[in-house]
Amino acid sequence: MAQLVGPLRKELADSLSSCRVLVVGAGGIGCELLKNLVLTGFKNIEVIDLDTIDVSNLNRQFLFQKKHVGKSKAQVAKESVLRFCPSANITAYHDSIMNPDYNVEFFRNFQLVMNALDNRAARNHVNRMCLAADIPLIESGTAGYLGQVTVIKKGQTECYECQPKPTQKTFPGCTIRNTPSEPIHCIVWAKYLFNQLFGEEDADQEVSPDTADPEVAWNPADAAARATASNKDGDIKRVSTKEWARSTGYDPVKLFNKVQLFKDDIMYLLTMDKLWKKRKAPLPLDWTEIHQLESSQEEAFGSGLKDQQVLGVQGYAQLFHRSVKTLRSQLIEKGEGAELVWDKDDPPAMDFVTAAANLRMNVFSMNMKSRFDVKSMAGNIIPAIATTNAVIAGLIVLEALKTLNSDFDQCRTIFLNKQPNPRKKLLVPCALDPPNPNCFVCASKPEVTVKLNVHKTIVQALQDKILKEKLGMVAPDVQIEDGKGTILISSEEGETEANNNKFLSDFGIRNGSRLQADDFLQDYTLLVNLIHSEELEKDVEFEVVGDAPDKAPAPNVPEEGKNIANGNKDSAQPSTSSKAAAEDDDVLIVDSDEEPSSSTMETSPESSNRKRKHHDADTDDAASKRKRLDQQPADDDEDIIALD
């Protein structure tokens, strides 16, 4: 340790021993960072992470061992790091950073905050808390071979939310339920089916045919008559999939042929003849017919490990049968009213989704996928590289030393590239940008405009989908600027619950109305301007317009044809926030070691005219262009952090 601390000025070395720092996240980057901090001389460290250790973490999170599986990441990381430096004072919190206990006063206890997070919601929150507390934040991320570190300081640099982020890709319900055209549609459907059968039922995850599909031109009232042929047994109930499944004893064959699956529902879809005029119609599967196939036709194909092989229809039907029986046994063991939670690392759950998704792919004439491919898409997994985490954690410490030494003008955004740039460098520094004056988070008077239909948008949707999910608030209080100070939403439980299912128009809200939204936890006030519109696109409930997140430039496709991403709206639970949906951020690749402005992201030729020339120890050249990579949702694995 003496060798590491020795080169530092005595004043800086002393300050490391006395200053308090907060590390948010104890996963891939977090483990490396905690080790680096104590070896560099930091003595007072607090670390927070909600997650527990999983077997899949052990290949890169080196503070953990097999005996630690199931234990708190933060607590075990603390214990492991103390073996490097027993004199360190480390406090571990097995909790969500979005817990109201960690308020602005909590953040003011630290001289520096370092993020090692895996999801945008928690990162947005920490960004706002550091702004409110006026504490420097070092943001970081890795995605496979790519990595990034940047420094955020109130009033001097862009905050995390200054630059717009691409919106997470979602799929319309009618596409999932009626007209899937890509394997991912079938995989999402299979995950919904798992929840409907074995987990917590969700009305937004319905899997049966959608008779309200706008493409279905005939009267939905005729659906029952048209589908009579598919309901001959008379025991089909479309009220509760789980109830029906329980009544059959979770009989795999009945599940296969009947409700919500591969025969009856497909025959029901075929009655919606308008859907199939320009599409290939689905082909129902029958359990008996499948098992009459010659075994020679059902051999797996593909090379490599068993999980990388693609089975035939019969093979996936058998896998479906086995997985249903296993999941049924798990439910019985848990007792009456029990529910299962889908987990990509749980073999029976993964088998079920693999089988159900592939059978549906076959029904809709798609090429089936291996278990490996299905797991990658269902769990939104991208490669996690231990070396990348180590490099980024080292860079975090270097930027931390600059910040604590008051050398803020020397701080940089640093990108780790997958391949050396033309100047043969993997690490590329970029000057920090000043705050975006139009940012709806760090501007002096944050303001945003939302387009919606006031006659169709209910208060609950405003709170959950717009203020919390889209605009990153945790516990908003909303007042209508109507001269009366009408309280629309209160963060106090039950206080405005009666408003939840009322339309905005019921409160006199119309085109041009303004709402003041306050989040006292984040010490954040946002003025929301509402524009009434009856011409929103299909399946679009609202649009944030102006300088808002969904105005990000259209991303380019990477040369490798692969997407790098983070977050999964369907199933991922972030490791450091309780229920926040993990989301995808944008990744920047820098093509040279020259020092551009860190937010110069445009790829058009004219964008180069806006790039500023900055001085760096290695080069005096002008900034070069950077490419922006498309992002798809990824897993909640803590070191698979999308880059901005």
Instruction: Please give the residue that has the higher pLDDT: either 481 or 345.
Output: 481
Which has more pLDDT, 107 or 293? 107
Superfamily holding 10-166+383-430: NAD(P)-binding Rossmann-like Domain (3.40.50.720)
pLDDT on residue 635: 39
Beta strands in 98-143 (DSSP E): 112-115, 137-143
173-218+240-293+303-379 and 447-545 share one fold? no
Considering the candidates 85, 130, 174, 186, report the single residue annotated as catalytic: 174
Cα Rg, the chain, nearest whole Å:
27
Q: pTM of the prediction?
A: 0.70
For 596-615, what is each residue's pLDDT tens digit? 555 543 333 333 333 333 33
pLDDT in tens, 17-42: 899 999 999 999 999 999 999 999 99
Q: Bridge-partner residues for 144, per DSSP?
A: 384
Residues of each annotated binding site? 25-30, 49, 57-60, 73, 96-97, 118-123, 159, 162, 439, 442
Distances (CA, A) of 562 to 125, 140, 594: 29, 22, 26
Banded pLDDT at 573 (limits 50, 70, 90):
very low
Question: 367-394: per-residue pLDDT in tens?
Answer: 999 998 898 888 776 667 899 999 999 9
Q: Parallel, antiparallel, or unpaired for β 112-115 and 20-24?
A: parallel
Quote the Cα angle for 151-153-157, to 5°.
80
The strand pair at 427-431 and 412-416 is best described as antiparallel
pLDDT (mean) for 395-403: 96
Our answer to whether residue 174 is catalytic in this structure is: yes
159/639 Cα distance (integer angstroms): 21
> Could you tell me which residues are annotated as the binding site for ATP?
25-30, 49, 57-60, 73, 96-97, 118-123
SS3 state of residue 85: coil
Domain 447-545 listed as CATH 3.10.290.20: yes
Helix extents (H) in 199-222: none
pLDDT of residue 546: 59
Q: Class assignment of domain 173-218+240-293+303-379?
A: mainly alpha
pLDDT-derived band at 209 (thresholds 50, 70, 90) equals confident
Annotated domain spans of the chain: 10-166+383-430, 173-218+240-293+303-379, 447-545
* pLDDT 10s digits, 488-520: 999 998 899 999 999 999 999 999 999 999 999
Report the Cα–Cα distance between both ends of the chain, in Å, rounded. 33
Whether 359 contacts 317, CB under 8 Å:
yes
